[in-house]
Amino acid sequence: MMENIFIKYSLLILFLPLAAFVIQIFFGKRLPRQGDWVSIGAISTTLVLAITMFVAMIMKDDPDFYQEASFTWLDMGDFEIRLGFLVDNITVIMLLVVALISTCTHVFSTQYLKGDIRYSRYFAYLGLFTFSMNGIVLANNLMSMYMFWELVGVSSYLLIGHWFEKDSAANASKKAFLTNRVGDIGFFIGIMLIYNAIGSFAFSDIFDGVSSGLIAGSTLTLAGIGLFMGAMGKSSQFPLHIWLPDAMEGPTPVSALMHAATMVAAGVYLSVRIFPILTPDALLVVAYVGGFTALFAASIAITQTDIKKVLAYSTVSQLGYMILAVGTGVYTAAFFHLLTHAMFKANLFYGSGSVIHSMHHALHEKHDHETDPQDMHNMGGFKDRMPITYWSMLFSTLAIAGVPLFSGFLSKDAILAGTLSFAQHHPAHFLLPVFGFAAAAMTAFYMFRMMFLTFHGKPKMPDIIDDIHESPKEMTGPLILLGTLSLFIWYTLPYFNPMSTHGWFTDLVVPSDSVVPGNPSAQQIEEGAHHAHHLAMYISIAVAVLGIFLSWFTYIKKGLSAQAWTDRFGFLYDWSFNKYYFDENYDKYIYQPSFRLAERVAWIDWELYDRYFINGFGRLTNWASKVTGKFDFDVIDQFIVDGTGRMAALFGRKLKTIQTGKLQNYVLYVTAGIIILMVIQSF
Amino acid sequence: MDQLNNYLFIAAALFSIGLFGVMTRRNGIAVLMGVELILNAANINFVAFSHFGGMNLDGHIFALIVIVLAAAEAAVALAIVINIYNNLNTINVDEASRMKE
């Protein structure tokens, strides 16, 4: 009985949001309350199912738990594609994360989007997204993962562009979709390289194929990097990070669900799934991309003034951490960070949503439509006006900054220990832990900068502070829930040791060996990380404290003037503030040349190809059809077709004359016929 | 054997007269009478062959069947002729040509 619930429940979890999507998109507007209860009902049912599965998983307590169900999708002669579902401990945890954050987002959105013109469509797209995300999580093969991957991209596109009347939102949705396409090309090449060598899309077959050497060496490295490119696009890794900050044009609950907790984690999830087939070279690429992204995005987040942009770059940076962890071998730590990050980052987004919501209403009261409600320079002193938002966000900020007793400390520490151990074994790559620790210090700094600018100090717009109110309970509910989930205890039960990750997670998610020869075994990696654990912990606490202190000293104590620093390192500030001019340079060196190339190609297409080849062919066809038309009309129609008709008419006329209608004539014919027959017979 | 030939001559004469009647007469009743003559010519042949061929009474039975058939045929045909007369006011068979067109 217990064996069966996993696959059944998984299918329900997969398809309930799809059903909600179908109902909402066709009937949403006609339902009471625009049908938000349909979506919330479906999603909270999946949450209940996910919790049931999670409890069942804890009860089983089996690190090797694995179930699969597949069916034939395409069958053409010898060519067969099987798709299917896979349920193991990682899947169950991930399903719970998606269901939980999705439920919170649905509830939160009922207030945040109250009175929106496309309220029901918004909920429909949320359902579509949840369906696709669950599809990625449940896929047991690269093919169906790729399909759901694209579906996730579509729903992201639709939700970022929810307010498409704004040009910036419409452009951001296009940018997100197209940037993802770049990564997806690599993903597809990787899939094809692997299919070509192994002849199957299923993860289990791929692992078997790689360990038996069907694909190896540089081809495998290339395939691994190809697959990782997909992860780079979805998880917004350098140099494809440009779409995620712009994606903040979407409604804030969407940012929490997709662009913080789940969708961008899909890239990390993919990397975790394919970790066993990544070669040492590919892993090095992964590690450097991740490490560099972590530092690079953190350095941008420091100077941003838009509260959501800070969080967006923070997300890019944290995703970089996870990718770094995959690259250095501690991929279960990456998944652990994915789990903790999903909770506290979604919460930070809800918090920012709550602040923006409140700002928006306060500005609306004053009939002020010029002031940007997302700019932290217009906030300050909200602490007492919005206590629940403040405390909940503070918990999550402490978690992301890596302060002991909070969840982020555990997962970040696990990643940094793995990275440090990797550098101890490969001293040439000492930069990786440097990236990691520097990013940790910056994270602590900019997160507290955000908290201080928003909630502490004197109100920068004193005339609206009286109109700033705590948000309604549909919004504070998720905040309280996820704020609580930022505490370490949920992740280490049944043990109580804030300094160690040991708990249900480490018992159930056990790293497996890489199937590529030459990679260290899971046990070696774990031992290395264990040795580096204490050193990493001390350094990470030190850098977190340093970051928080600097932030406090600059923004509360005013011991250091942010303005003075800006003036002294003006060009660095400008670089960071303008995101290192990535968008401008991409525009100058990639988009504009491609536009020019496209114009040239279009010229060739119109002026040469169309004019001479296509139109010439058209004229030739025209002439040929006239000739054949004439032949058809004159010869076939007139002579053969009509001729047959005329022949029949002629015979008819001649033979008609025998039919006199006179009885005696017929008798005469009969008699004559008999006589003739008798004469013939007698010979 | 000469006796058989005599019967056959009479039957052939009767048949020819009947056929002539059918082919030349326009009057429907006269045509029917011709048909009766042809039938009776056949009857004479049946009985003659049966008698001289040593076939017991087989031919006689056939002749009886033909007579019964002829009676039925005459009844139906006369009914048709009466109908034609009722509809066309004539019993000239050539006039009954409505189905020609």
Between residues 525 and 564 of chain A, which touch chain B (CB distance below 8 Å)? none
Q: What is the pLDDT of residues A222-267, one digit of tens each?
A: 888 999 999 888 888 888 888 888 888 888 888 888 888 888 888 8
- Domain positions in chain B are 2-94
Query: Which of B15, B17, B20, B22 is the mutation pick for testing A, counting most A CBs within 10 A?
Result: B22
Question: What per-residue confidence (pLDDT) applies to B100?
Answer: 58
Which residues of chain B make contact with A662, given a CB cutoff of 8 A?
A: 94
Global model pTM greater than 0.90: no
Contact B24/A664, CB-based, under 8 Å? yes
CB of A661 less than 8 A from some CB of B: yes
Q: How far apart are CA B91 and CA B29, in angstroms?
A: 8
Closest CA to A437 of A291, A260, A265, A241: A291
pLDDT beyond 70 at B101: no
Report pLDDT for B38. Answer: 92
B19-38 confidence digits (pLDDT tens): 998 888 888 899 899 999 99
Kindly report the nearest CA distance between residue A623 and chain B, in angstroms. 51
pLDDT on residue B66: 93
| Whether the predicted pLDDT of B15 surpasses 90 | yes
Choosing among 3.40.630.30, 1.10.287.3510, 2.40.50.140, 1.10.3720.10, the CATH entry for B2-94 is 1.10.287.3510
Q: What is the pLDDT of residue B2?
A: 65
User: Can you give the pLDDT at residue A303?
Assistant: 83
Q: Is A218 on the interface with B (CB under 8 A)?
A: no
For residue A284 the two structure tokens come to 């090095």
User: Residue A1: what pLDDT?
Assistant: 43
Distance CA(A344)–CA(A394), nearest Å, equals 10
Query: With an 8 Å Cβ cutoff, is A494 touching chain B?
Result: no
Residue A17 dihedral angles phi and psi, to the nearest 5°: -60, -30
More confident residue, A112 or A497: A112
Closest alpha carbon within chain B to A667:
B23
Chain B CB contacts of A668 under 8 Å are: 23
Which residue in chain A is spatially nearest to B95 when comparing CA positions?
A662
| Model confidence band, residue A591 (pLDDT cutoffs 50, 70, 90) | confident
B60-79 residue pLDDT tens: 899 999 999 999 999 999 99
Element (H, E) at A74: strand A66-76
Which residue type occupies A367?
H
Query: Is B31's CB within 8 Å of A663's CB?
Result: yes
**Higher-pLDDT residue of A4, A291:** A291
Contact criterion met (CB < 8 Å) for B94 and A659: no
* Percentage with pLDDT > 90 across chain A: 10
Q: Taking residues A315-340, what's their average pLDDT?
A: 89
pLDDT digits (tens, 9 = 90+) for A382-400: 878 888 888 888 889 988 8
Q: Taking residues A126-132, report their average pLDDT.
A: 91
Contacts of B100 in chain A (CB under 8 A): 659, 661
Q: What is the mean pLDDT of chain B?
A: 87
pLDDT score for B69: 92
Lowest mean pLDDT among A272-281, A407-416, A504-513, A574-583: A574-583
How large is the average pLDDT for residues A28-50? 85
Question: Which residue is associated with the tokens 């696959």?
Answer: A7
The tens digit of pLDDT for each residue in A411-447 reads 888 888 888 888 888 888 888 888 888 888 889 888 8
A187, pLDDT greater than 50: yes
Calpha distance A344→A339 (Å, rounded) = 9
Contact residues on chain A for B94, CB-CB shorter than 8 A: 661-664
- Cβ(A124)–Cβ(A21) below 8 Å: yes
Q: Which residue is associated with the tokens 């562009």?
A: A161
Most B CBs within 10 Å, among A667, A669, A670, to test the B interface: A667
Q: Do A663 and B100 touch (CB under 8 A)?
A: no
Name the burial class of residue A538, with classes exposed (0-12), middle (13-18) and buried (19+) by CB atoms within 10 angstroms of its CB. Answer: exposed
Query: Which residue among B23, B26, B97 places its CB closest to the CB of A667?
Result: B23
User: Mean pLDDT of all residues in chain A?
Assistant: 85
More confident residue, B74 or A566: B74
Lowest mean pLDDT among A317-326, A465-474, A667-676: A465-474
Q: What is the per-residue pLDDT across A264-279, written as a single tens digit (0 to 9) for each?
A: 888 889 988 888 888 8
| Chain B residues with beta carbon closer than 8 angstroms to that of A661 | 94, 97, 100
Chain B nearest CA to A650, separation (Å): 19
Q: What is the pLDDT of residue A407?
A: 87
Mean pLDDT, residues A660-664 taken together: 75
| Inter-chain CB proximity A671 and B93 less than 8 Å | no
A588-605: average pLDDT: 85
Q: What residues of B are in contact with residue A663 (Cβ under 8 Å)? A: 31, 93-94
A162, A131 Cβ separation under 8 angstroms: no
CA A278, A279, A280, A282 dihedral sign is negative
> How far apart, in Å, are the Cα atoms of A436 and each of A156, A310, B97?
29, 18, 113
Collect all residues of chain A within an 8 Å Cβ-Cβ radius of residue B19. 667, 671
What amino acid is encoded at B56 in this protein? N
A597 and chain B: CB distance < 8 Å anywhere? no
What is the rounded CA–CA span in Å between residue A405 and residue A596? Answer: 55
Instruction: Determine the residue of chain B that is closest to A664 in CA distance.
Output: B23
Q: What is the pLDDT of residues A598-622, one digit of tens each?
A: 888 888 888 888 888 888 888 999 9
CB pair distance less than 8 Å for B100 and A659 = yes
Mean predicted confidence (pLDDT) in A550-574:
74
User: Does A674 touch chain B if contact means CB atoms closer than 8 Å?
Assistant: no
ipTM of the complex: 0.76
Report whether pLDDT(B56) > 60: yes
